[in-house]
Amino acid sequence: MLPCLNKKLFGIDCPGCGMQRSVHLLFEGEFLAAFKMYPAIYPIVMLLTFLVANLFIKFKLAHQIKLTLMLLVAATIILNYIIKMNHLFN
């Protein structure tokens, strides 16, 4: 796995820390462990799946669906990071 540059330089996790391990766990079929490692993995998978499907199938509300999924991904990443940092400093 690639090391996190943010963690190496500053000693704290970045908002993306755990994503590589989560993808690895997902490919191994460890779905709950993947979620525990990086909760944003499933919204990211949903977004990527939709984006690929939208290349072949033109959805009526594609723009709104993409925007909603992107906001869900961003909110999940931010919330997970806040919770992680809260546990780290408490």
- Binning pLDDT at 50, 70 and 90, where does residue 19 land? very high
pLDDT value, residue 30: 97
Interatomic CA distance for residues 79 and 72, integer angstroms: 10
Token pair recorded at residue 40:
């944003």
Which sequence spans correspond to the domains of the chain?
15-89
Give the residue among 44, 72, 69 at the shortest CA–CA distance from 61. 69
| pLDDT band for position 12 (cuts 50, 70, 90) | confident
How far apart are alpha carbons 59 and 32 in whole angstroms?
A: 30
pLDDT at 87: 85
Q: Tell me: the pLDDT tens digits for 37-80?
A: 999 999 999 999 999 999 999 999 999 999 999 999 999 999 99
